[in-house]
Amino acid sequence: MSRAERAPIRVLIGKPGLDGHDRGARVIARALRDAGMEVIYTGLFQTPAMIVRAAVDEDVDVVGLSILSGAHLTLLPEIVEGIVAEGREDALIVAGGTIPPDDVQPLLDAGVTRVFGPGTPLADIVEYIREHAPSRTAESV
Amino acid sequence: MSERLSLRERFEAGERGALARVLSYIEDHPDLRGTWIADLPPVSAMQIVGVTGPPGGGKSTLVNALVQVYRRQGKRVGVLAFDPSSRRTGGAALGDRIRMNETWSDDGVFIRSLANRGRLGGLSDAVFGSLRAFNAFGLDLTLIETVGVGQGEIDVASVADVTVLIQVPGAGDTVQLIKAGVLEIANILVVNKSDLPGAGELLRDLRSLVTQVDPSLAHTPVVAATATSVEGVLPLAEEIDKLLACSQLDARMRAEAEVRHYVLSEVERQLDALLREESGDELVARIEAGATNAWQARVQLIGSLRPA
């Protein structure tokens, strides 16, 4: 049975680690909401394990991670590993924030699908997620 | 490893990822016909507590504190937290989890955020199936947090065994308390943020309402709460437990609520489609021009509904 045509894409916006700035995360959450997606926001100061738990329980299609603390090379691979370990390798994992260009490739190697730098137009992020969010049509019950 | 097991086997083995996927399936496919999910039995042992109240009244915070109370009692607890979908885009921002961080690592707690997906009334069509899934998964108690309600969103009362209505200080004078609507469906009235100015007055007003003014609310407990700590909700939890011990929602009532929900949802869906069609457009134009009126037009529209 195919997924209902109108079923919205579900996205978790997570703020891993110890930076207290979530304006970016909230702007993205709002933009995705306005694009017709259901956006779950975790709030600040989440550990990788908390984000993995939320992503699994909420059964999101997409995990968006906003990080400004500089700890992305430590925290993001841990989140990807956790999500895969829970059997959710189908989830699209994207990141944004202050991530230096040199760090992008290591993150992609770790399984982050895409890194959006500062200044990325919101429409680009919306379009990317729409195109790449996994579809559950193959899911059989 | 899990690839070889079916969703049903993983669900029956108690895998939370499988419960999560079943809940998505219920949300996305109102028509479950022919699937094992459609055959999940009605809620039996699981207790259901509804928490409703105005936006910003502290529903999520209160639910978070109650979850911890019930965990101390050794119960496995589910949470269904509703927020509104945009009527314009269908999108939603689901922010209730933000207040529910304390129990994130607890395997005995399962929190799920749901958008109402266009349903008025404070819940969504998925609430019934989700409750059956929680029940079948072996949860002992589920807390339902409605969308922030105004005065008329009362669906939760026909789903929950006990409905808790939050009121907060500073939200209007006693005239608000004599209006019909959401106050009538509460089994327990709670004044949250009871540390704020005006809380004592509101408690007093509510108590006089239930003891002297409104016979239909007689014996409705009125309690103060400060939901930012577990201790702050213990008096409320005590009242909830008292009611749970002696009253359970009639299974028949829940079944009626479910079918009513689905019928209205189907009618609304078809009506939306009809009004977008050319004939619907013309009909509305004729009402606007005074050639017919909406009361007459309703017959024509009802006649155009198709068997689902």
3-state secondary structure B204-270: HHHHHHHHHHCHHHCCCCEEECCCCCCHHHHHHHHHHHHHHHHCCCCHHHHHHHHHHHHHHHHHHHH
d(CA B206, CA B167): 10
- Residue type at B184 in one-letter notation: E
Q: Which domains does chain A have, with CATH numbers?
A: 10-131 (3.40.50.280)
A3 pLDDT higher than 70: no
Q: Which domain holds residue B98?
A: 40-245
Same domain, B200 and B299: no
Same domain, B274 and B232: no
CB A96, CB A115: distance < 8 Å: yes
Give residue B101's pLDDT: 86
Domain at B202, CATH number: 3.40.50.300
Query: Which residue in this structure is represented by tokens 């022919």?
Result: B34
Q: Do A38 and B115 make contact, defined as CB atoms within 8 angstroms? A: yes
Same domain, B171 and B266: no
Alpha-carbon gap: A35 to the closest alpha carbon of chain B (Å): 7
| Residue in B closest to A14 by C-alpha | B98
Question: How far apart, in Å, do the first and last CA atoms of chain A sit?
Answer: 9
Enumerate the residues of chain A whose CB falls inside 8 A of the CB of residue B7.
139-141
**Structure token digits, residue B52:** 């409703």
Same domain, B103 and B199: yes
A140 pLDDT higher than 70: no
Any A CB within 8 A of B134 CB: no
Q: What number of other Cβ atoms are within 10 A of residue B39's Cβ?
A: 10
- E-only strand ranges, B92-228: 92-94, 109-115, 141-145, 162-167, 188-191, 222-224
d(CA A31, CA A128): 13
| Residue in B closest to A33 by C-alpha | B91
A75 pLDDT higher than 50: yes
Same domain, B194 and B225: yes
Enumerate the residues of chain A whose CB falls inside 8 A of the CB of residue B34.
1
Q: Do B101 and A43 make contact, defined as CB atoms within 8 angstroms? A: yes
Q: Is residue B30 a part of any domain in this protein? A: no
How many Cα neighbours within 13 Å face the side chain of A38?
26
d(CA B63, CA B233): 10
A4 pLDDT higher than 50: no
Q: Which of the four pLDDT bands, split at 50, 70 and 90, describes residue A90?
A: very high
Q: Which of the four pLDDT bands, split at 50, 70 and 90, describes residue A1?
A: very low
Enumerate the residues of chain A whose CB falls inside 8 A of the CB of residue B90.
6, 8, 36
CB A40, CB A57: distance < 8 Å: no
Alpha-carbon gap: A131 to the closest alpha carbon of chain B (Å): 17
Same domain, B180 and B283: no
Q: Is residue B8 a part of any domain in this protein? A: no
Structurally, how many domains does chain B consist of?
A: 2
Closest CA to A56 of A16, A10, A25, A24: A10
d(CA A37, CA A58): 14
Q: Is residue B55 a part of any domain in this protein? A: yes
| Residue in A closest to B100 by C-alpha | A42
Same domain, B211 and B154: yes
Q: Is residue B11 a part of any domain in this protein? A: no
Same domain, B51 and B176: yes
A92-136: pLDDT as tens digits: 999 999 999 999 999 999 999 999 999 999 999 999 999 999 986
d(CA B46, CA B138): 8
Same domain, B86 and B203: yes
| Residue in B closest to A27 by C-alpha | B93
Same domain, B284 and B263: yes
Domain boundary among B200, B216, B245: B245
Give residue B112's pLDDT: 97
Q: Which of the four pLDDT bands, split at 50, 70 and 90, describes residue A13?
A: very high
A26-73: pLDDT as tens digits: 999 999 999 999 999 999 999 999 999 999 999 999 999 999 999 999
Question: Which segments of chain B have a pLDDT < 50?
Answer: 1-2
How many Cα neighbours within 13 Å face the side chain of A17?
18
d(CA A132, CA A137): 14
Q: Is residue B7 a part of any domain in this protein? A: no
DSSP state letters, A77-126 = HHHHHHHHHTT-TTSEEEEEES--HHHHHHHHHTT--EEEPTT--HHHHH
Domain boundary among B227, B245, B263: B245
Enumerate the residues of chain A whose CB falls inside 8 A of the CB of residue B20.
56-59
Q: Is residue B134 a part of any domain in this protein? A: yes
Same domain, B211 and B294: no
Same domain, B154 and B289: no
**Three-class secondary structure of residue B21 per DSSP:** helix
CB B60, CB B81: distance < 8 Å: yes
Enumerate the residues of chain B whose CB falls inside 8 A of the CB of residue A35.
89, 91
Q: Answer yes or no: pTM beyond 0.80.
A: yes
Q: Is residue B25 a part of any domain in this protein? A: no
Q: Do B7 and A54 make contact, defined as CB atoms within 8 angstroms? A: no
